[in-house]
Structure 1
Amino acid sequence: MRFSLCCISFVWLCCYGVQNVFAYKIPQIKLELIGDKFNVSIPDEDGISMAIFNIEINEQCPVLVDMVTAQRGGFWRSEHAANKLKRNDKVKINVLVTHKDGLFSRTDSVQVSDRLTLTYETIKEAENPIDTCAANIATNLVNRETETKVKKNGKELRRIFKRDELIFEELFEKQDLPNWTYAKFIHSNAIGDQSEDFTALSKANAEVYNGKLFITPSISSKLGTNSRFNVSDCRSPACYEGSHFTCKYEKSKERAYEYPAPVNSARISTNGTFSFTYGRIEINATLPNGDWLFPYIMLMPDKLNCAMRKQIRIAFATSADLESKRLRGGPVILQARENKQSAKLYFTRLSHMAVNTNFNVDGFHNFTMVWTSQGMSWYVDRKQYACSINNGEYAEPYHIVLGVGAGGNLEFEDTTSKPWRNGYNTAFTFFHRSFTGCCARQNHRKACVQINKNNKNVKKERMCSREWGPQATMAVESVRVFAV
């Protein structure tokens, strides 16, 4: 389990015991440069049960700490894909090894030359185990009571959890999903802040069977500004004006858009049933792959701030990301700005997610995020690709959100192949037209000309989107949260 920590001093790195002769001695720590990543390792030996690596690059924060609990291929190895080493970098590495003969420590320094060759220097080499006092400190670090806090049904649990204890599990074995709430509202009837996607959310586009949750977006059959309809069992979300703005669609001057939501989709959350502060969340899922789609696989705070909306995205990739084999993850902060002309709010992004540039877009993947009071780190299929310091900005209960979004004014940059323009009130109209009429059943993006049935002299050119196939469905087979 890897953490990104601020510069701290571990007392167990410099405490030594009595001067007796012991059989075990930690060999020199090996550093390997492999493309854009690096590894540090020591060889396996009978009697080792765990290795904790503490890595400092150029005497800068954050310090990387990785607890390795199993050897692989004859080595106790710590891999770092998100921290590329550059020419002339200096890396200080300490390893703490729990061995059957005791607790051992070693510190080496590695200098990366201008030609990317490595020069080693031994700083501390201990042939004797660390004394009992220091060993107890290290043991408490590994086996300490966690900082994880849990809320169930709106009440914080008072119990103290053990490290790696399972605190939430969803295997999608029940149709009714008692731990989850379905979002039921229309984004197109929002207050006009243009921070949401182009969907109407209901339970109809979600299905549970064979131990998996399937969320399938679909193009709406509601056409034109004269459509009128209601979302049944509508629940008005926070940060919106009255419930009539989110539950009913009809032409109104109060609305930001003069067109129905072009996409039907689904979104579920554990808001009100389960939330947590600090933990390791693992989600096995596929990502939706279709023009202008993206997943909601994220955490949101229980207490929403309407002027500054925070999200922690566990896994994120738009259709444009997937075309380039990119996966992203990280905190997202949306800051409200006031449009002086309309007196409405619009949002700008204050943060940017980290990127994995070699993501396999097909099949199920394990998306993991580790969240502590010191930092956050992101993994795909057990390999870390990003980390971030937690400066106290993320220290409150968050709940889990799963869903599929489409379009919007924040996730897709304006390009010549994109049917709509960010911030325009015609966005819903052009998005919907790119999938219907002469654009229906397209398997590639192109322009087409729609002829008016009543007046053949009226021709309108539209930019088409590709029809969604089976890969547009997001499938989730498990969600687990562990204490840290």
Structure 2
Amino acid sequence: MLLFPYHSQFRLFSCFVNMFYLLSLCVINIVIVNCQYEVPDAKVKVFYPKGFTVSIPDEPGIKLFAFHGKINEEFDGREAGTFARDILKPKNGSWTFVDRFTKLKEGDILYYWTYVDYDDGQHKLGYVKDDQMFEVKDLINPNLPKIDVRYNTHTDSTNNVLFFEDFSSNRLDPNKWIIEQRFADEPDFEFVMYVNRPEVLTKEGNKLKIKPVLSENIFGGGFVNSINGYNFGDNCTSLIGSQSCRRNTGAGFILPPVASSQISTKNKFSFKYGRVEIRAKLPRGDWIYPEIYLEPLHEVYGSGNYKSGRIRIAFSPGNEQMNKILHGGIILGPNNAARDYGDKTIEDMNGYWSENFHTFVLDWQPHGITVSVDNKLYGRIDPPENGFSQLGGSLSIKNADRWRTGSKLAPFDQEMYLVLGVGVGGFNFKDSPSKPWKNGGRNSVSQFYEAKNEWYRTWGESSNLEIDYVRITST
């Protein structure tokens, strides 16, 4: 007996056939294009005092891993998020996103989604894992791994990018930079006060500009002889109450006649060994010079007067004749011999170093240091057989014995941070008949200021230090 009319049985049979067909396709899909692939669960690690990583295990077929995240804020759909980065290759068995600057605390929630480009040999497809979250409960403090990441077109896939800045944001990233607010002090005693003011620190397009100006143009006429002196107060980025934060006038002493800007990654980013690449246009004008160097983070071998060293990436005074020579290398001490020992130079045969943008590169390795410009190597500094400490006597370096406690490269074997700025005058110029002050002289700042009519007429729009980008990689 038929329970259904013939046409009903036929339709039911057809339904079963169609279902079987669809299931067969799905099975085939599983075999051929792995339609059941799922993005692996991510592992999150949060570090103290700052930084975190998000990683998935490396598996055959994964070609790219992307991370998108927000802190304490859920996503509104599949948006990019606060953190958005593509990881191009695995490292040590994992695809890992690394953030070195964000400070997280217990109770914070990381909302995120991940993406994987997966290739099974026949098809390359993208897969997403949405609606993930991680609550911070434990902070750990190992060294952050060095991971290759894509920041933008300036990255080099052959190296691990540790730090990158192209100044494309509307303001300096406070997670990367501090803007100095203090008086210049040792070891160079430049005639400058560093301020956070638009007159000296600006952004135009995707370039950062630092320009020295007369301090009286900012603080008013007669500022250099102000009877009240000047105190940066709580805004000072140096030791509160020190000479770097407060200055008085009188007895021949005046306040710095020049205001400028200096930014650094101190306590934001530091590293030990790597390659620093900076594209910049150097400033022009008498007694002006760029401050583009690495400074020791902890001053393990002593503080002040280069006791723990300094590495110059690019230095060229803005005076007409001096501006033909570019300097780079190391400084071992405050006296001329210790400054000159590791100073490498190259002459611009076509003009001045301030006329065009150039790419300055420092390669800092455990065995030595090199400096280059526009892909041309012009200086190599290798430590003596027994290290730089053996130069103490010949270079009159009083603290050189302390370097014996480090490696052969000491004092350049410790973490360092980047400094960018513009200085004027001070000990970076050797005494000469053309120089209007004498290094170490009690009235050197006043002498410099009294010669203002001579040097200030050489300043202008070309007195800017313009910085296009900064990239630091491990090598």
Q: TM-score range by the shorter chain?
A: 0.5 to 0.7
Change (3 A) 1:226 1:170: same
In 2, Cα distance between equivalents of 1:153 and 1:311 = 27
Residue of structure 1 equivalent to 2:469: 478
Please identify which structure carries the higher strand content. Answer: 1
Amino acid in the other structure paired with 1:354: K
Give the C-alpha shift of residue 379 in structure 1: 0.8
Residue of structure 1 equivalent to 2:345: 355
Question: Does residue 401 in structure 1 map to residue 392 in structure 2?
Answer: no
Residue of structure 1 equivalent to 2:373: 380
In 1, Cα distance between equivalents of 2:321 and 2:101 = 35
Residue of structure 2 equivalent to 1:64: none
Contact 2:368 2:409 in 1 (8 A): no
In 2, Cα distance between equivalents of 1:156 and 1:368 = 29
Amino acid in the other structure paired with 1:472: S
Question: Does residue 418 in structure 1 map to residue 435 in structure 2?
Answer: yes
Residue of structure 1 equivalent to 2:163: 168
From 191, 194, 203, the equivalent of 1:198 is 191
Residue of structure 1 equivalent to 2:204: 209
Question: Does residue 287 in structure 1 map to residue 282 in structure 2?
Answer: yes
SS at the partner of 1:203? Answer: coil
SS at the partner of 1:432? Answer: helix
Amino acid in the other structure paired with 2:467: V
Contact 1:153 1:272 in 2 (8 A): no
Q: Deviations over 1:191-218 (max 9, x none)?
A: xx56321110011121123111100001
SS at the partner of 1:246? Answer: coil
Change (3 A) 1:433 1:330: same
Contact 1:219 1:432 in 2 (8 A): no
Larger deviation, residues 223-232 vs 175-184: 223-232
Residue of structure 2 equivalent to 1:313: 312
Contact 1:235 1:247 in 2 (8 A): yes
Q: Deviations over 1:253-285 (max 9, x none)?
A: 8xxx71101110010001111111111110010
Contact 1:167 1:481 in 2 (8 A): yes
Q: Deviations over 1:409-453 (max 9, x none)?
A: x22122222211111111111212222xxx2xxxxx4xxxxxxxx
Question: Does residue 333 in structure 1 map to residue 326 in structure 2?
Answer: no
Q: How does 1:109-128 map to 2 (within 5 A)?
A: none
Amino acid in the other structure paired with 1:177: D
Contact 1:267 1:402 in 2 (8 A): yes
Contact 2:330 2:339 in 1 (8 A): no
Q: How does 1:230-249 map to 2 (within 5 A)?
A: 230-231=231-232, 233-237=234-238, 243-249=241-247
In 1, Cα distance between equivalents of 2:100 and 2:296 = 12
Give the C-alpha shift of residue 477 in structure 1: 1.0
Give the C-alpha shift of residue 219 in structure 1: 1.4
Contact 1:161 1:483 in 2 (8 A): no
TM-score by length of 1: 0.55
- Greater Rg over alpha carbons, structure: 2
From 155, 159, 175, the equivalent of 2:145 is 159
Contact 1:297 1:401 in 2 (8 A): yes
How many pairs align? 293
In 1, Cα distance between equivalents of 2:359 and 2:202 = 21
Contact 1:198 1:407 in 2 (8 A): yes
In 1, Cα distance between equivalents of 2:289 and 2:318 = 7
Give the C-alpha shift of residue 237 in structure 1: 2.8
In 2, Cα distance between equivalents of 1:261 and 1:153 = 36
Q: Deviations over 1:385-418 (max 9, x none)?
A: 111125321221111100000000x221222222
Q: How does 1:126-137 map to 2 (within 5 A)?
A: none
Identical residues among aligned pairs (%) = 27
Contact 1:289 1:322 in 2 (8 A): no
RMSD of aligned Cα (Å): 3.1
In 2, Cα distance between equivalents of 1:252 and 1:398 = 37
Amino acid in the other structure paired with 1:230: N
Contact 1:151 1:157 in 2 (8 A): no
Give the C-alpha shift of residue 244 in structure 1: 4.4
In 1, Cα distance between equivalents of 2:265 and 2:234 = 18
Please identify which structure carries the higher helix content. Answer: 2
Contact 1:376 1:388 in 2 (8 A): yes
Change (3 A) 1:467 1:278: same
Residue of structure 2 equivalent to 1:69: none
Structure 1: unaligned runs, 5 residues or longer: 1-142, 337-345, 440-444, 446-463
Q: How does 1:259-298 map to 2 (within 5 A)?
A: 259-298=254-293
Give the C-alpha shift of residue 348 in structure 1: 6.5
Give the C-alpha shift of residue 227 in structure 1: 5.0
Structure 2: unaligned runs, 5 residues or longer: 1-90, 94-98, 104-140, 149-157, 217-222, 384-407
Question: Does residue 469 in structure 1 map to residue 460 in structure 2?
Answer: yes
In 1, Cα distance between equivalents of 2:242 and 2:345 = 39
Question: Does residue 182 in structure 1 map to residue 179 in structure 2?
Answer: yes
SS at the partner of 2:462? Answer: helix
Change (3 A) 1:427 1:417: same
In 2, Cα distance between equivalents of 1:418 and 1:206 = 27
Change (3 A) 1:292 1:306: same
Question: Does residue 301 in structure 1 map to residue 301 in structure 2?
Answer: no
Give the C-alpha shift of residue 354 in structure 1: 0.5
Contact 2:284 2:323 in 1 (8 A): no
Change (3 A) 1:236 1:171: closer
Contact 2:285 2:319 in 1 (8 A): no
Contact 2:286 2:318 in 1 (8 A): yes
Amino acid in the other structure paired with 2:468: E
Contact 2:317 2:323 in 1 (8 A): no
Contact 1:152 1:272 in 2 (8 A): no
Q: Deviations over 1:84-131 (max 9, x none)?
A: xxxxxxxxxxxxxxxxxxxxxxxxxxxxxxxxxxxxxxxxxxxxxxxx
Q: Deviations over 1:49-104 (max 9, x none)?
A: xxxxxxxxxxxxxxxxxxxxxxxxxxxxxxxxxxxxxxxxxxxxxxxxxxxxxxxx
Contact 2:270 2:418 in 1 (8 A): yes
SS at the partner of 1:429? Answer: helix
Contact 1:184 1:233 in 2 (8 A): no
